[in-house]
């Protein structure tokens, strides 16, 4: 059985790279959204130049679209891609939800639970109304003229904290952690198992699809520096989110140094080698492949590799070729 590997293109919308990912055998390609191009818009384009690779949102949030709008978008993508769509959801953070969309970041986990239930109702064509805390549609079915290719589409949740990971085990088809220290991973799998048990499910029913920051270069210091800049940028621009897990792993001092650094360069210097070893795979192709195998052995079903922020086209192409499924 061949390896399962996905790839995330965070801000890139490059059809040649998407074609290359499919040619190299990647299982799925994931499109981020944030405050740039919509994930659905990019994936619709990517569907026109591919035939087999899965097309996944990575991620869209439950605040910026109604459940009906997201169900319409993912069902439309699924129809255009002959059943290859994957819905990656995540509550995001106040920097996106409040600062960009202008919506209160209120009770995100309760909203997510209701959101997933409603998206599934729309896809399944359940016609009745829904009286929820956040959404109260009177009809949860598409027009008869639109019959989705699939009544069920895989839903992944990008969870970090214990409550959200448990929620993932309870209601999602997959878990999508990002910048998650591998030494905390075993504990998180216990949270996932607890959530699955609440719904009388097995944790094996939840696909663990981890974003893996991967930096490939023959010079190990160059590879490390690119990954460190990525981490420093995330912690400085998105405070109080990814860094919470890092703090729980014992890196509070590093986080403070990154935040307080006068420049990005100084922040990069504050990223500790020990932390990078926990959240990134760096080095030449052989070392990167070795680390990906270690993550699979630890319980990651689907590593989703991503290049560091700022990586040029050549670096991304090299990443694809270095991490292609065996």
Model pLDDT for residues 96-112, shown as the tens digit of each residue: 999 999 999 999 999 99
The band of 244, judged by pLDDT with boundaries at 50, 70 and 90, is confident
Model pLDDT for residues 161-174, shown as the tens digit of each residue: 999 999 999 999 99
Q: Which domains does the chain have, with CATH numbers?
A: 6-217+281-323 (3.20.20.30), 218-280 (no CATH)
**In this structure, is the dihedral angle defined by the CA atoms of residues 256, 60, 213 and 192, taken in order, positive or negative?**
positive
pLDDT score at 319:
98
Report whether pLDDT(242) > 90.
no
Model pLDDT for residues 15-52, shown as the tens digit of each residue: 999 999 999 999 999 999 999 999 999 999 999 999 99
Secondary structure (3-state) at 306 = strand
Burial of residue 58, with CB atoms counted within 10 A of its CB: 0-12 exposed, 13-18 middle, 19 or more buried: buried
Q: Do the Cβ atoms of 157 and 176 come closer than 8 Å?
A: yes
Report whether pLDDT(1) > 70.
no
Model pLDDT for residues 187-204, shown as the tens digit of each residue: 999 999 999 999 999 999
Strand (E) or helix (H) holding 255: helix 252-260
Model pLDDT for residues 213-235, shown as the tens digit of each residue: 999 999 999 999 999 999 999 99
Model pLDDT for residues 246-280, shown as the tens digit of each residue: 998 899 999 999 999 999 899 999 999 999 999 99
| Helix pair 39-47, 67-80: axis angle to 10 deg | 10
* DSSP per-residue letters across 134-188: S---S--S--TT---S-S---EEE---SHHHHHHHHHH-SEE---S--GGGHHHH
Residue labelled with tokens 């070795």: 290
Percentage of the chain lying above the pLDDT 90 cut: 93
* pLDDT mean across residues, the chain: 96
* Distances from the Cα of 273 to the Cα of 100, 252, 270, 276, 286, angstroms: 33, 14, 9, 5, 19
Distance between CA atoms of residues 303 and 4, nearest Å: 7
Find, among 164, 180, 160, the residue nearest to 172 by Cα. Answer: 164
CB atoms within 10 A of CB 149: 16
Secondary structure (3-state) at 196 = helix
């Amino acid at each position: 059985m061949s390896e399962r590997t996905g790839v995330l293109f965070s801000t890139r919308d490059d059809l040649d790279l998407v074609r290359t990912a499919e040619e190299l055998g990647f299982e799925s390609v994931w499109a981020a959204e944030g405050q740039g191009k919509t994930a659905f818009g990019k994936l619709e384009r990517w569907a026109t130049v591919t035939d087999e690779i899965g097309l996944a949102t990575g991620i869209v949030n439950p605040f910026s679209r109604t459940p009906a709008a997201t169900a319409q978008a993912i069902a439309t993508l699924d129809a255009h891609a002959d059943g290859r769509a994957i819905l990656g959801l995540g509550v995001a953070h106040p920097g996106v939800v409040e600062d960009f969309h202008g919506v209160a970041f209120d009770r995100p986990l309760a909203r997510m639970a209701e959101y997933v239930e409603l998206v599934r109702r729309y896809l399944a064509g359940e016609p009745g109304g829904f009286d929820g805390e956040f959404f109260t549609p009177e009809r949860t079915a598409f027009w008869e003229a639109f019959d989705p290719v699939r009544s069920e589409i895989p839903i992944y949740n990008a969870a970090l904290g214990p409550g959200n990971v448990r929620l993932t085990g309870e209601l999602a088809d997959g878990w999508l952690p990002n910048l998650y220290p591998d030494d905390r991973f075993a504990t998180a799998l216990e949270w996932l198992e607890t959530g699955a048990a609440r719904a009388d499910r097995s944790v094996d029913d939840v696909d663990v699809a981890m974003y893996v920051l991967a930096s490939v270069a023959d010079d190990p210091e160059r590879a490390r520096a690119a990954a460190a800049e990525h981490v420093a940028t995330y912690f400085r621009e998105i405070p109080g989110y990814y860094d919470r897990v890092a703090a729980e792993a014992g890196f509070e001092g590093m986080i403070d140094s990154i935040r307080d650094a006068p420049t990005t360069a100084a922040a990069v210097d504050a990223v500790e080698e020990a932390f990078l070893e926990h959240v990134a795979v760096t080095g030449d192709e052989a070392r990167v492949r070795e680390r990906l195998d270690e993550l699979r052995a630890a319980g990651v079903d689907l590593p989703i590799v991503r290049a560091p922020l700022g990586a040029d086209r050549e670096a991304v192409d090299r990443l694809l070729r270095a991490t292609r499924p065996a």
